[in-house]
Each structure stands twice: as structure tokens, then as C-alpha cells.
A and B are shown apart, each in its own frame.
Chain A
């Protein structure tokens, strides 16, 4: 046991740690991704104009999950790999950790192909996908090989660059009808809850905390930043949703696949119009943390499990991502992948309370045995 503890000791040198404040950027930038460009349609299909309530419920749910994640990690002795090992033992725990790794990889993959879909639909219909994926993944390799601190920097900058895009919401509000939002609550509770489940899919990303937790200096202090990040994300989703409601009519919204991008189209300045091109180009910064942190998390788990160099795993995973991303195309396939990763994310979030319960039980049993 002692020996095992040694090999898995998580004493990360101080110069690789980040201060608690960055948890805000890490969580927030991970939650905002390609989802926000077109999440409105799915919510409206379920709960119509009452979907904003679903967003709020989802926000509360996520705060709860975040609280549980912190409970898990606080005395878990490191990250998810360690917790799994303590609760389930070496083999089952290791297998579950691998599932997490694959899940992170799936999220990364989803982001990449969805972004490529956006580019193909909105900018370059005849994009040479494999060259684009190749350049994008080389870029990601360059960033991820810089380590966690560099990825945190990318998250920070992505949040800052994404901020001005929020101001563009002013244009659709100006052109829209605020009466659209009334009357309030015309859907049943089940409809609203169905939309809540749907909206949670856009919020996934905070579970990465399970793997980068040991990289936070004074992790206990990062709690408020994490909750603040979730709150901020919820607010951004809420504002986006309401702005889209104001701009589109309910029936039209069901036909609009990319609500936010469509709303960018009306932005007009004396020297520039059709702002969606700029928006999509800048969206690269927003999705980059998703890909980088996703790949980092996915490659970190095998490193922790098998003690192999993360660089090799990274190259392997990038190759794994490259071929399907270069080949897969078409709306049905991408919808399917999005649904799959959404479902997976939902179950991962549900798995966290289960894990918390199991861990509490196993901790108690262990204490009794030792006591």
C-alpha cells in the first residue's frame, strides 16, 4: 500500500500550480463552447418560451453538482483516478477512470466536428476538412504540450476575447419584440424538466475539475470562484436565450439551427456588416480551451494510470481524433455525436452523487476497520 501511494503521490511542483482565481476561467471557458451557438432550438422544442426557467433550474442543479465535486475532492487525496482507486480498487477503479478519459476525448471530438460543421455551413462550404483538422490539431498539440499552466492561459484569454461578443447582443434586442417573452409559464412541469435536461448538456465541462484539482494552489479557496463561474455561465446562457426569444418568434426559432449566429447577422457598423464571419472566427478562441483542456484531461488519466509519458498519449489521442474528424460529415452524424456526448455528459453528472455516496460509505468502513 505504501509503495502504491508513493507512485501515485500527487505532489505537483509549485511552479506548475495555478492560483484559485483561475478556476473561474477554467470552468467558465470549458462550459461555453459550440453549444451556445445553437442551443436555443432544442430548448424551445421542449418548453417553448418557458425554457428560461429550465436554464435557471439547470444552473441550480449544477451548483449542487459542483458542491458535490468539491466534497469528493476535498478529502479524496488528489483527483478522480485516486478516488476511483480508493473506492473501487485498482482494476475496476482504473477501468472507470479510463471511461472518464474516453468521455473527455468524446467531448473534444464533439467540439471539433461541430465547429467544423459551423465553418462549413456558414463560411466555407467546400472546406478541405482534413487540412483544417490537421492544422487545428497541430496547434492544439503545441498548446497542450506546454502543460496545464499554458492551457489555463488559453482559458483566460478566451474569456477575455469572448467578452466583446456579448456586447453584440444589443443589436438583436434593439430589433426584437420584448413582448415575445410573455405570457410566462404556459408549459407543464415535465416539459420544463425535459428542457432542463436538454440545457444541462450545454453546461457540461465543470467535471474537468475532477482531474485538474491537484493543480490548484489552496484548492479550498477556489470554491467561490468555481461557483461564481457556474453562476456567470448560467447568466450568459440565460441572456443569450432571452435575446434570442426577443428576436425570433417561437415558430421560427424551431427552424433556426444556430440561433446565436443568426442573430449576429444583423450586426451592422459603418465599415463592416455580416458580423457572423467575425463572430465565427473569434469563436475559435472560445472553443480552443474546450479542445485543449479536453485533450489534456483525456491524456492525463492514462498517464496517472499507467505511468506513461503524457506526450505519447497526446500524440496517440490526436491521431485518434484526426481520422474521424477528417472523415465524418453531414448533419445527421454530427447530431448523433452531439446527442451521444450530451447523454454521456448527463450520466457523468448523475454519476457524481453516486460516487459521493459510495465514497462516504467506503471511507466510513475504512475508518471503522482502522479504528
Chain B
């Protein structure tokens, strides 16, 4: 129902905008002249043409070196003649006011033969400010490539293309955002990717009705199959190498201009716990690290709820010797376990949020001061127990092991329903919450593909690169999830050929 409402609204908006755009070239110039950085002047001399451009967006070097000398030297009868003489690539002659507006706003130089002429020449002279390509900060890795995406789409695509010199690497561009007119690129390897996935992504992108598109995370929220889910349904990465390896697996990548991140889809919950480091170290190490990460996540979500459940309802479960330790640390504490846990968890969240908002150097200090000072003080004052402090600190630490930032946030959040469940019905409450989240994951989809794959639907083949990572020689096929057109990665028989002794 809500989609239907949205459509109706958008259609009225569209008609409004259309009527707005029907203005003439002179009106467009007039509206621009309100801004100080818009330059528009008539060239004296034999050619009485008008040059207009936005000073802050255009590169004056091109104007001075390639355009003005030609215009001053020769005599031109038509706009086409000028076009032939100016040595700049990719110029257009047009009357289309929409195109003119779009290009001039991007920094093109507009030349009219006379003030009233409708036909104009557009010369590309875009000057874009771009950050240098730097090392990845969110997904840092010790070994492996150290390039991260920047805010310019062209640079980002360059980073991908240079790793994938393949004519089949296709880039479709769309303009999204009613006001921001952001360039969005859909990137895929033709011949590997399932065309249905590309179709779904493009379709959904085209359906976006929103005025602004500041970052790619806007896309991931709008495009999500279930936008009420705490789980990210797109993999959000800042590493070009990761995007390239995903593209080769048959995934689709989405990049927006102005966003230093790429989204790849379809993704699975397991993939969100994989780091690119896993592919840079030998497979046994990678497997162990992955399992440690999985354990860390489970620990991070379940440790405090289990503390609440066991201490509130099931003391009998703790063996005698361990009970002594816990009792002695909790003897002076006036609060029930649930209150103790919630206070401490909220403190940790507070520290984390404060650390994230402050500049890096102060942030670190806040973390240390907050962690050590507040933690010790709370224990000394008898507000929380030592045991719980250890558990909470460990679970906070464990939640940082997730390589993808977005899933880390999810883990931060989903702990709280578990704590409430534990307070209500002890272990049974925890297991009820777990059932809910597992059911939710089973239901969830990423652009129409199951999000809980390879566990359900159970695909033994895809398990080779999920909780464990088997050696490359065993990964002879691309993941089944993507339904790739070409599923073979290599010639399996040659890769795994057995050789006899001394052969």
C-alpha cells in the first residue's frame, strides 16, 4: 500500500518538475546570474559570441589555452565551425535546455554565437577537487593492497578497471536523486553475472524516488529487500580488491559519486564476517581466524544475556568452585544482574559513541580514560562486579572483530533484546530471541537471493568459502548463490591433478 502511495506522490512531483524545466535558455542564464561565481560575457571583435561558465566548477586553463585564442583569431559563421576548430575532445552542439543545464552545472563552458541564439556549444572543462587515494581505514589489512576508494566515481572506477582489464567489465551509469543528480554506477562482469541480478538492481535504482543521495549507504537502505531489518543486505566495502574479487564471483557492485564505498550484492550473512585478509594468508590460518571471529560474534551477543539468565534464574548451573568466585565478586552489589548489565553495557556504548565522534587522538584517550577509570571506579564503588566487567569488556572487544563496520553495528544492537529475553525467561528467553533472529535471517533476502545461504538453503559447495576457507585449488567453481552463467573458475582436473612420486 505504501508503495502505491509513493508512486502517486511522485507522479505529481514529476509533472511539477517538468513544467519548471520548460523554461528558456535566457531564464536559465538569468537565474544563474544571481550567483557571483557565474561568468557570462560577450567577446568583442569579429566573433560576437557569448561565453558563459561557472568559475568555481570550470578549469580556466582550457578556456585560456584552447578556446579563447581560436575565437580571437578566426572568423566563424556557424557554431559547427567553431566546434571543428577548437582542439578539445567531446564537445556537443545542442539546443536541449535540460542537457545544457546539466552540463553547465557540472562545469562545461557554454558558447553562444549571439545572445539570442538557441543553439550552443558545450566544451568540457570540468575541474573536480578530489582526495588522493589513501590507505583503507575502516577495513585495514596488514598484508595485501592498501588502496581505498575515494569520493570521485571516476577514480574509483579506475581503481577497479586497472585490476580487471577485461572488455566484459561493464559499467552502467544512472542519475539518481531528484535534487542531487548523483551519478550511480552499476558494475558487473558480463558473461559471468546472472543478468537477473543486474536487472533487479537497475530496476530498483531507477525506482528510487528521493531528493538526495549523499552516500552509497542511502542506496543500501533504500534498495534493501527488508528495510526494517537490522542486518545490512548489501556488503559495504572500501577496498577495490574486495570489489574486484566479488565481481569475478559474479556479484554486482553499485557505486555512487561522492561515496568512498562500494556496495556489492547479493550478499550473505556469512560473507559479512569474512575479511579480505582471509585470502592473503594460507587457508588453515584463514580458517582458524574465521572461526575465532565467528566465536567472537556469538560470544559478544550471548555472553551478557547468559550472565543475566544464569545469575537470575539458574544458579544451580554454576559448579560450586566457580560459584564461590562469582558470589564473592557480587556480594556487595545492590543491584540485580539485569540492572548491573544494562548500566555497564550502556556505559560501553557511551564510550564507543563518544570515541567515534571525537577526533582520533582525543578519541583514543577517551577510550582509555573511560574504560579504565570508570570501570575500576564502578567496581571499587561496588556498583558492578569484576566478573561482569570482564565479560562486558570482552564482548565489546569481540564485537570489533567483525571486518565489515555495518554488521558490527548490528551486533551492538541485537544484544539488547537478548538481555531482555534473559531477564524474562532465563535461558528459554535467550533461546526464544535466538529463534526469532534465526527465523529472521532465514526469511531475509538480498536482492531476491537467500541471505542465510549456505546454511539455508544448504549448499555444501558454498560452505567451502564460508566458515572455513579451503585452499584455492578446492574452490574450482564460483558460488552457487550467484547463479553465474559461467560457473567454472578453472580447469579442476588440471588444478588438482595428482602426480606420482618422481614425476
User: Is A277 within 8 A of B314, CB to CB?
Assistant: yes
CA distance A27 to B361 in the complex (A): 59
- Pick from A153-161, A240-248, A339-347 the stretch touching chain B: A153-161
Question: Which A residues are in CB contact (< 8 Å) with B318?
Answer: 271-273
> Quick check: is B431 within 8 A (CB to CB) of the other chain?
yes
Is B280 an interface residue when CB atoms closer than 8 A count as contact? no
Contact with B along A115-155 (1 / 0, CB 8 A): 00001000110010000100110010011001000101110
Contact status A277-B456, CB under 8 Å:
no
Query: In the complex, what residues of B have CB within 8 A of residue A284's CB?
Result: 428, 431-432, 435
Tell whether A274 is near chain B: CB-to-CB under 8 Å.
yes
Determine if A136 and B442 form an interchain contact, defined as CB atoms under 8 angstroms apart: no
Among candidates B430, B440, B442, residue contacting A157 with C-beta atoms closer than 8 Å: B442
Question: Which residues in window 429-474 of B have CB below 8 A to A?
Answer: 430-432, 435-436, 438-440, 442-443, 452, 455-458
**A contact residues, range:** 35 or more
Type the 1/0 row for B152-186, where 1 means its CB is closer than 8 Å to any CB of A.
00000000000000000000000000000000000
Whether B428 pairs with A143 at a CB distance below 8 angstroms is no
Q: Is the CB of A157 within 8 A of B428?
A: no
Q: How far is the CA of A146 from the CA of B225 in the complex (A)?
A: 14
With A153-B442, A153-B456, A156-B458 known as contacts, the answer to whether A277 contacts B435 (CB < 8 A) is: no
Q: A124-B426, A142-B436, A143-B439 are in contact. Are A274 and B452 (CB under 8 A)?
A: no
Chain B's closest residue to A124 (CB) is B425
Which residue among B322, B426, B435, B455 has the maximum number of chain A CB atoms within 10 Å of its CB? B435
CB distance from B246 to the nearest CB of A (A): 24
Query: What are the interface flags for B294-329 relative to A under an 8 Å C-beta threshold, 1 for contact and 0 otherwise?
Result: 000000000000000000011011110010000000
With the chains together, A19 CA to B459 CA distance in Å?
11
CA distance A222 to B457 in the complex (A): 16
Task: Tell whether A154 pairs with B431 under 8 Å between CB atoms, given A124-B313, A274-B316.
Answer: no
**B428 pairs with A271, CB closer than 8 A:** no
User: Chain A contacts of B319 at CB under 8 A?
Assistant: 268, 270-273
**Does chain B have a CB within 8 A of A109?**
no
Structural contact, A273 and B428, CB atoms closer than 8 A: no
Residues of A within 8 A of B396 (CB): none
Among A156, A157, A275, residue most surrounded by chain B Cβ atoms (within 10 Å): A157
Q: Say whether A282 faces chain B, with CB atoms less than 8 Å apart.
A: yes
Give A270 to B432 CA distance when docked, in angstroms.
Answer: 26
**Chain B residues, CB < 8 A from A261:** none
Task: Give the secondary structure class of B's interface.
Answer: helix
CA–CA, A297 to B294, complex, Å?
36
Bound CA span A274–B458, Å: 33
Are B458 and A21 neighbours in the complex by a CB distance under 8 Å? yes
Cα–Cα, bound, A157→B441 (Å)? 11
Interface hits, A62-101 → B, CB 8 Å: none
A139 and B317 within 8 A (CB): no
CB distance from A17 to the nearest CB of B (A): 11
Known: A132-B425, A156-B456, A270-B319. A281 touches B435 (CB 8 A): no
Task: Point out the residue from B431, B443, B458 that lies within 8 Å of A150, measured CB to CB.
Answer: B443
Number of interface residues of B (CB under 8 A): 26
Roughly how many angstroms separate A273 CA and B321 CA in the complex, as a whole number? 12
- A119 contacts which chain B residues (CB < 8 A)? 428
Which residues of the other chain, B, contact A136 by a CB distance below 8 angstroms? Answer: 432
Q: How far is the CA of A142 from the CA of B226 in the complex (A)?
A: 14
A150 to B456, CA, bound (A): 9
Say whether B189 faces chain A, with CB atoms less than 8 Å apart: no
Known interface pairs A21-B458, A284-B432; A154-B439 also in contact (CB < 8 Å): yes
- Interface assignment of B427: CB less than 8 Å from any CB of chain A: yes
Q: B491 to nearest A CB, angstroms? A: 28
Q: Is the CB of A280 within 8 A of B428?
A: yes
Given contacts A273-B317, A277-B314, contact A139 B428 (CB under 8 A): no
Considering the chains assembled together, what is the distance between the CA atoms of A142 and B314 in angstroms?
A: 29
CB distance from A276 to the nearest CB of B (A): 9
- Whether A150 and B442, one on each chain, are in contact in the complex, defined by CB atoms closer than 8 angstroms, is yes
Q: CA separation between A284 and B457, bound complex, in Å? A: 21
Asked if A192 CB lies within 8 Å of chain B CBs, one says no
Bound form: Cα–Cα A272–B317 in Å:
5
A274 to B317, CA, bound (A): 5
List of A residues within 8 angstroms of B425 by Cβ: 124, 127, 132
Inter-chain CA distance A286–B431, complex, in Å, is 11
Q: Is A213 an interface residue (CB 8 A)?
A: no
Nearest-neighbor residue (CB-CB) of B428 within chain A: A281
Are A277 and B432 interface neighbours, CB within 8 A? Answer: no
CB of A26 to closest CB in B, whole Å: 13
Per the bound structure, the CA–CA distance linking A21 and B457 in Å amounts to: 11
Q: Tell me whether B427 and A278 are in contact (CB under 8 A).
A: yes
Interface string of A239-276 (1 = CB under 8 A from B): 00000000000000000000000000000101111110
* Contact (Cβ within 8 A) A281 B436: no
| Chain B residues whose CB sits within 8 angstroms of the CB of A280 once the complex forms | 427-428
Task: Write the nearest CB–CB distance from B240 to chain A, whole angstroms.
Answer: 34
Is the CB of A288 closer than 8 A to any CB of chain B? yes
Nearest-neighbour CB distance to chain A for B365, whole angstroms, equals 36
Residues A281 and B431 in contact, CB atoms below 8 Å apart = yes
A285 touches B (CB below 8 Å): yes
Chain B residues closer than 8 Å to A285, beta-carbon distance: 431, 435
Please give, as numbers and ranges, the residues of chain A lying within 8 Å of B314 by CB-CB distance.
Answer: 123, 274, 277
Complex formed: what's the CA distance from A270 to B325 in Å? 14
Alpha-carbon distance between A281 and B317 when the two chains are bound, in angstroms? 13
In the assembled complex, which residues on chain B have CB atoms less than 8 Å from the CB atom of A273?
316-319
With both chains docked as a complex, state the minimum distance between the C-beta of A158 and any C-beta of chain B, in angstroms.
9
Residue of B with least CB distance to A145:
B443
Given contacts A273-B317, A274-B314, contact A142 B439 (CB under 8 A): yes
* B436: A residues at CB distance < 8 A: 139, 142
Task: Tell me how far the C-beta of A187 lies from the nearest C-beta in chain B, rounded to whole angstroms.
Answer: 38
23 A-B contacts, Cβ less than 8 Å apart?
A21-B458, A123-B426, A124-B426, A124-B428, A127-B425, A132-B425, A135-B432, A139-B435, A139-B436, A142-B440, A146-B439, A146-B442, A153-B439, A153-B457, A154-B439, A154-B442, A157-B438, A271-B318, A272-B319, A273-B317, A277-B314, A277-B317, A278-B427
Residues in chain A within 8 A of chain B (CB atoms): 18-19, 21, 119, 123-124, 127, 132, 135-136, 139, 142-143, 146, 150, 152-154, 156-157, 268, 270-275, 277-278, 280-282, 284-285, 288
Closest 3 CB pairs of A and B: A153-B442, A281-B427, A153-B456
Having A143-B439, A285-B431, one finds 16 other A-B pairs with CB under 8 Å, namely: A21-B458, A123-B313, A123-B314, A124-B428, A127-B425, A146-B443, A150-B442, A153-B439, A154-B438, A156-B458, A272-B317, A278-B317, A280-B427, A280-B428, A281-B430, A285-B435
